């Protein structure tokens, strides 16, 4: 089982530091729904993943580039990952989450993540935003843990507490902004699965039965490492399709991307306002 090595993280951080001398406060994983936020960052450096030692190499999934964007957004120093990695592409949990270690090494105290997700809650609609309050990561679902293996106490504690993996103050801030902006947003539980296939009707019933509101193929591993590293996390899902087992329709990836594209402006607005109003 691969695990993160302190020296590898320092190697990667030093290469970024040679190109950008800022100290980031916020790390952003530009998943589905936040891709265009990169263009709003006042970029001071853009570094391709293939220039950073120990970084995985993107496989070219639609909508995901492969570079770090370093600069400022809404007055705050940020580093954004333009392109993320997934288990279904064949990456290991350690590879998927190595960039989160680098964000922490660059100074990030806060991690903002986003994803496209299937809606399991019948009260949610396509295009709604869900502020993630908690997640489920069970064997047989995503069930993988990037923290397995020797623990280096310089990176984080052996047994990180997951009482509050998604910071409640940041959730309240995001939900308050959504309300003020008239953007439909809910608080909900995200369940991570490996993919790449969508789930069966029986699986959707099971996932809803264990308490999930949305289901997706990313985010959980990244959040585990961020919490291990002592970062505060704010996570969003865009409900791109409804996964109601008794009214299930075939899903077309083009439709999912179209819904995500439509919701993107709303999510970008919330994230930008959150960064503007971060507590000191």
Task: Please determine, for residue 1, whether its predicted confidence score (pLDDT) is greater than 70.
Answer: no
Sign of CA dihedral 232, 10, 160, 28: positive
- Please state, as a whole number, how many other Cβ atoms lie within 10 Å of the Cβ of residue 14: 11
- Structure confidence at residue 140 as a pLDDT band (50, 70, 90): low
Residue of 43, 44, 55 whose CA lies nearest to 15: 55
Cβ–Cβ under 8 Å, residues 27 and 105: no
Could you report the per-residue pLDDT of 105-119, keeping only the tens digit for each? 999 999 999 999 999
**Residue 51 CB: number of other CB atoms within 10 A?**
12
- Res. 63 pLDDT band, cuts 50 70 90: very low
Q: Where are the domains of the chain?
A: 6-276
CATH of domain 6-276: 3.40.50.1580
> Taking the mean position of all CA atoms in its chain, how far away is CA 44?
23
Structure-derived torsion over alpha carbons of residues 78, 20, 151, 168, reported in degrees to the nearest 10: -10
- Is residue 41 scored above 80 in pLDDT? yes
């Amino acid at each position: 089982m691969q695990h993160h090595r302190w020296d590898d993280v320092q190697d990667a951080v030093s290469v970024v530091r040679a190109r950008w001398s800022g100290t980031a406060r916020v790390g952003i994983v530009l998943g589905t729904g936040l891709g265009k936020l990169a263009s709003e960052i006042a970029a001071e450096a853009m570094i391709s993943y293939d220039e950073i030692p120990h970084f995985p190499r993107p496989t070219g999934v639609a909508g995901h580039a492969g570079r770090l964007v370093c600069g400022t957004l809404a007055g705050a120093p940020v580093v954004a990952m333009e392109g993320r990695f997934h288990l279904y592409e064949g990456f290991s949990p350690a590879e998927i989450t190595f960039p989160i270690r680098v964000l922490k090494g660059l100074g990030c105290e806060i991690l903002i993540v986003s994803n496209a997700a299937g809606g399991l809650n019948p009260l949610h609609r396509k295009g709604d935003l869900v502020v993630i309050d908690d997640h489920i990561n069970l064997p047989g679902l995503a069930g993988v843990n990037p923290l397995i293996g020797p623990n280096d106490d310089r990176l984080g504690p052996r047994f990180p507490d997951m009482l509050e993996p998604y910071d409640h103050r940041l959730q309240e801030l995001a939900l308050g902004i959504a309300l003020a902006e008239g953007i439909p947003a809910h608080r909900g539980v995200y369940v991570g699965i490996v993919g790449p296939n969508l789930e069966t009707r029986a699986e959707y019933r099971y996932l809803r039965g264990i308490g999930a509101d949305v289901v997706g193929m990313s985010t959980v591993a990244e959040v585990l490492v961020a919490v291990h590293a002592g970062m505060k996390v704010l996570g969003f899902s865009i409900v791109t399709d409804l996964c109601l087992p008794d009214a299930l329709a075939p899903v077309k990836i083009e439709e999912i991307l179209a819904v995500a594209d439509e919701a993107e402006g709303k999510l970008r607005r919330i994230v930008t306002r959150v960064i503007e109003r971060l507590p000191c």
